[in-house]
Amino acid sequence: MSSAEKLGGMGIIPKRKRQKVTEACSSQYKHEVRFQDLILFIVERKMGSSRRTFLMDLARKKGFRVDDVLSDSVTHIVTENNSWNEIWDWIQNQKLSNADKLKVLNISWFTDSMAAGKPVDIEDRHRLQEQKVLQSNVPPVVTISQYACQRRSTLDNRNKIFTDALELLAENFEFNENDGAFVAFSRATALLKSLPYKISRMENLEGLPCFEDQTRTIIEEILEDGVCSKVESLLCDERYKARKVFTSVFGVGLKTADKWYGQGFRTLEEVKAAKDLKFTKMQKAGFLYYEDINSAVTRPEAEAVGQIIENIVHYYTPDAIVTLTGGFRRGKEIGHDVDFLISCLKEGKNEGLLHKTVNKLNIQGLLLYCDFVEATLEKRKLPSKKYDVMDHFEKCFLILKLNKALVNNRVLSVSSASAVRPTNEGAEPEVKTKIKDWKAIRVDLVNVPAQQFAYALLGWTGSRLFERDLRRYTNHEKNMLLDNHGLYDKNKRAFLKAKTEEEIFAHLDLEYIEPWERNA
């Protein structure tokens, strides 16, 4: 197959859209064309149709003419992440009369032009450079960003032996409130997860950001010995083990865990047996449903909960949307809890919806615990400069009763199972034990106004390090502030509107990262 065929098959010119050219041409220029001598064509391959559509609309709003289909009239071709060789191969096969006059540019020229509101002068850095293929055993030099928001991190972690160790040590640094070491180890972990290859020797770390002396020492020890002595020691540490056990209880934070440890407690059994300890309502629920809450929530369970919530929300507000976020949106199959954003397209429809939803869950006998947090954002404030900060939306932290039949499509019963067992005359009568046919699930519901939905979705999708780096990049590189409520441009002294996550990334001049590529 030729390069042209490969590119055509991968969506440089979507075949299904060619028949709609006439229809598209009649509507695509509803915006005033300010730059008559310039006609853009944006390549879809390695960009995706949704991002391409967004960039085309953005250019048209700025007064650029953008054609859906490549033709002799096109003057500028804009591409992202494609090599010069494959693009030029494809252009030659299109048999254009003006192929030699075409300006083939990378996405940087486009973003610079959008920022300026006019076509900027073409510099060398804007041109798609010819790449000569050399026969060599030396691997190519790859530049990797220090920011997780500029890297793609899927669930395919090739360096788990290192990341498991670093994550455990980072957790202990956080326990000890050593923020500097916690961040350093977390960043090194995130970068390792993004690498498309396995670290097999220390030379593989050369040129990579985020690795300080401490993290390098850990990796070197694991390469040499297969284990890390600090991790082995920590796993045997009495205080660390107690902290892990105590904070596994819903409603128990580090301060409470350290308090119990200081009082001499080492196990949950000792804590529950203590007569002089007083527990909060949340902690009582945490102990009561401990076994269920600490067992993994599966994707089918998360989807079953989502269906329950969606049915109730739509009962009150049919046009509301319920969106699954967190690790499940990033492609994970299991998690610790389930997070949903609830939003309405029309202003005012959100009011009282969360209270109604929780009341309905209670009426249906599904509500085991509820902690309601009212919205605290009375007026629009600047996004917080802190990278780890809770938002101000109305939300509730729940424990719901999920019937296993909704997940398994059958009711579990001992009687049906025992019916196939052989029985013996004279045997002791069988004692039937009732099996619990439901599971307690931790659920968070967040009520989000429509104009802030894109920002809330981005923030609640995670991962934690991805979000932290995204806000750090926004502040340090773009002189802006970002949180779950909005994006503020400090230069323009204005909030930037966005209806989608793609628009937020575009505001920041970042390549869009899909949710399943944010597992930093």
- Domain positions in the chain are 3-126, 148-234, 237-288, 297-412+433-502
Q: Of 28 and 339, which is predicted with more confidence?
A: 339
297-412+433-502 has the same fold as 148-234: no
Q: What pLDDT digit, counting tens, does each position of 100-121 carry?
A: 788 888 888 998 888 888 999 9
Residue 409's pLDDT is: 54
Instruction: Work out the mean pLDDT of the chain and round it to a whole number.
Output: 85
Residue 433's pLDDT is: 54
Query: Which pLDDT band, with edges at 50, 70 and 90, does 262 fall under?
Result: very high
* Dihedral pair phi/psi, residue 416, rounded to 5°: -70, -35
How many H helices and E strands in the chain? 23, 14
Contact, 221 vs 228, CB < 8 A? yes
From 44-48, 62-66, 507-511, the region with the lowest mean pLDDT: 44-48
Give which of 286, 293, 300 is closest to 334, Cα–Cα: 300
Longest Cα–Cα distance in the chain: 98
Contact, 383 vs 486, CB < 8 A? yes
Residue 142's pLDDT is: 53
Q: How far apart are CA 441 and CA 444, in angstroms?
A: 10
Distance of CA 422 to the CA centre of its chain: 52
Can you tell me which residue has the tokens 């350093």?
Answer: 184
Distance of CA 519 to the CA centre of its chain: 6
Topology (CATH) of 3-126: Rossmann fold (3.40.50)
Paired tokens of 486: 């909005």
Residue 423's pLDDT is: 40
Instruction: Give the active site residues.
Output: 337, 339, 444
From 96-105, 123-132, 256-265, 270-279, the region with the lowest mean pLDDT: 123-132
Mean pLDDT of the 127-151 span: 65
Query: Which pLDDT band, with edges at 50, 70 and 90, does 479 fall under?
Result: very high
Cis bond before residue 463 (omega within 30° of 0): yes
Is a pLDDT exceeding 90 seen at residue 507? Answer: yes
Q: How far apart are CA 154 and CA 516, in angstroms?
A: 6
Task: Name 233's Cβ contacts closer than 8 Å, sequence gap at least 6.
Answer: none
DSSP secondary structure letters along 126-186: GB---------SSPPP----SSGGGS-B-S--TTHHHHHHHHHHHHHHHHTT-HHHHHHHH
Q: Of 421 and 29, which is predicted with more confidence?
A: 29
From 13-17, 247-251, 282-286, 438-442, the region with the lowest mean pLDDT: 13-17
pTM of the predicted model, to two decimals?
0.69
Is a pLDDT exceeding 80 seen at residue 397? Answer: yes
Q: Of 493 and 138, which is predicted with more confidence?
A: 493
Residue 129's pLDDT is: 67
Q: Directed axis angle between helix 107-116 and helix 49-61, to 10°? A: 30
Mean pLDDT of the 495-520 span: 96
Paired tokens of 294: 């600490």
Query: Which pLDDT band, with edges at 50, 70 and 90, does 25 fall under?
Result: very low
Is a pLDDT exceeding 70 seen at residue 425? Answer: no
Q: Which H helix or E strand runs over 323? A: strand 320-324
Residue 234's pLDDT is: 96
Superfamily of domain 237-288: 5' to 3' exonuclease, C-terminal subdomain (1.10.150.20)
Task: Name 504's Cβ contacts closer than 8 Å, sequence gap at least 6.
Answer: 454, 455, 458, 482, 487, 498
Mean pLDDT of the 33-46 span: 87
Q: What is the CATH number of domain 148-234?
A: 1.10.150.110
Give which of 412, 466, 457 is closest to 439, Cα–Cα: 412
Q: Which class is 297-412+433-502 in CATH?
A: alpha beta
Q: How far apart are CA 520 and CA 144, in angstroms?
A: 14
